[in-house]
Structure 1
Amino acid sequence: MSTRNLRRGLVALLAATLSIGAFHVQAETLRIGYQKYGTLVLLKARGTLEQRLAGQGFDVQWTEFPGGPQLLEGLNVGSIDFGVTGETPPVFAQAAGADLLYVAHEPPAPSGEAILVPKDSPIRSVAELKGKKIALNKGSNVHYLLVRALESAGLQYRDIQPVYLPPADARAAFERGSVDAWVIWDPFQAAAEAQLQARTLRDGQGLVSNHQFYLAARPFAERNPAVISTLIGEIRDIGRWVEANPDQATEQVAPLLGLSREITRKAVIRQGYGARPITPEVVRAQQRIADTFAELKLIPRKLVIQDAVWAAPKRIAQYPE
Structure 2
Amino acid sequence: MTTRFSWKTILAACTFGLACLAGSAQAEPLRIGYSDWPGSVAWQIAIDKHWFAEKHLDVVFDWFDYGAMLDAYTTGKLDAISATNGDVLSTGANGHKSITIMLNDYSDGNDMIVATQDIKTVADLKGHKVAVETGLVDHLLLLTALQRSGLSENDITIVHTPTNETPQVLASGSVSAIGVWQPNAGQALHEVSGSHPLFTSHDAPGLIYDTLSVDPLSLKNHEKEWREVVQIWDRVVAYIKDPATQADAIDIMARRVGIAPKTYKRFLDGTHLLSLSDSRPIFERGPGLDSLYGSDENADRFNVRYNVYKHPQNVGSYIKPLF
The structural deviation recorded for 1:80 is 2.0
Q: What 5-or-longer segments of structure 2 have no aligned partner?
A: 1-26, 286-290
The structural deviation recorded for 1:256 is 2.9
Q: Find the counterpart in structure 2 of residue 255 from structure 1.
A: 255
Q: How big is each residue's C-alpha offset from its partner over 1:56-102, in whole Å with a ceiling of 9 and x where there is no partner?
A: 4x2514122235xx533432221222122234222322332331111
- In structure 1, C-alpha distance between the alignment counterparts of 2:84 and 2:218, rounded to whole Å: 21
Q: Find the counterpart in structure 1 of residue 29 from structure 2.
A: 29
Q: Does 1:51 align with 2:48?
A: no
Provide the aligned length of Structure 1 versus Structure 2. 279
Q: Does 1:182 align with 2:178?
A: yes
Q: Answer yes or no: is the 8 Å Cα contact 2:135–2:306 preserved in 1.
A: no
Q: Does 1:86 align with 2:46?
A: no
Q: Which structure has the greater CA radius of gyration?
A: 1
Q: Find the counterpart in structure 2 of residue 76 from structure 1.
A: 74
Q: Find the counterpart in structure 2 of residue 63 from structure 1.
A: 63
- CA 1:279 to 1:164, structure 2 compared with 1: closer, same or farther past 3 Å? farther
SS at match of 2:53: helix
- In structure 2, C-alpha distance between the alignment counterparts of 1:42 and 1:207, rounded to whole Å: 23
Amino acid at match of 2:145: A
- CA 1:264 to 1:151, structure 2 compared with 1: closer, same or farther past 3 Å? same
The structural deviation recorded for 1:104 is 0.9
Q: Find the counterpart in structure 1 of residue 292 from structure 2.
A: 282
- CA 1:216 to 1:255, structure 2 compared with 1: closer, same or farther past 3 Å? same
- In structure 2, C-alpha distance between the alignment counterparts of 1:116 and 1:156, rounded to whole Å: 18
When the two structures are superposed, what TM-score results if normalisation uses the length of structure 1? 0.73
The structural deviation recorded for 1:116 is 1.2
Amino acid at match of 2:301: D
Q: What 5-or-longer segments of structure 1 have no aligned partner?
A: 1-26, 312-317
Q: How big is each residue's C-alpha offset from its partner over 1:169-195, in whole Å with a ceiling of 9 and x where there is no partner?
A: 444544555654332234443454456
When the two structures are superposed, what TM-score results if normalisation uses the length of structure 2? 0.73
Q: Find the counterpart in structure 1 of residue 199 from structure 2.
A: 202
The structural deviation recorded for 1:262 is 3.3
Q: How big is each residue's C-alpha offset from its partner over 1:141-196, in whole Å with a ceiling of 9 and x where there is no partner?
A: x2321221122233333543242424x34445445556543322344434544565
Identity %: 14
- In structure 2, C-alpha distance between the alignment counterparts of 1:137 and 1:64, rounded to whole Å: 23
SS at match of 1:31: strand
Q: Does 1:147 align with 2:154?
A: no
Q: Answer yes or no: is the 8 Å Cα contact 1:32–1:61 preserved in 2.
A: yes
Amino acid at match of 2:299: I
- CA 1:304 to 1:132, structure 2 compared with 1: closer, same or farther past 3 Å? same
Q: Answer yes or no: is the 8 Å Cα contact 1:124–1:201 preserved in 2.
A: yes
- CA 1:87 to 1:219, structure 2 compared with 1: closer, same or farther past 3 Å? same
Q: Answer yes or no: is the 8 Å Cα contact 2:86–2:299 preserved in 1.
A: yes
- CA 1:250 to 1:299, structure 2 compared with 1: closer, same or farther past 3 Å? same
2:218 to 217, 220, 224: 220
- CA 1:138 to 1:294, structure 2 compared with 1: closer, same or farther past 3 Å? closer
SS at match of 1:215: strand
Amino acid at match of 2:80: F
Q: Find the counterpart in structure 1 of residue 236 from structure 2.
A: 238
- In structure 2, C-alpha distance between the alignment counterparts of 1:164 and 1:30, rounded to whole Å: 36
The structural deviation recorded for 1:260 is 3.4
Amino acid at match of 2:240: V
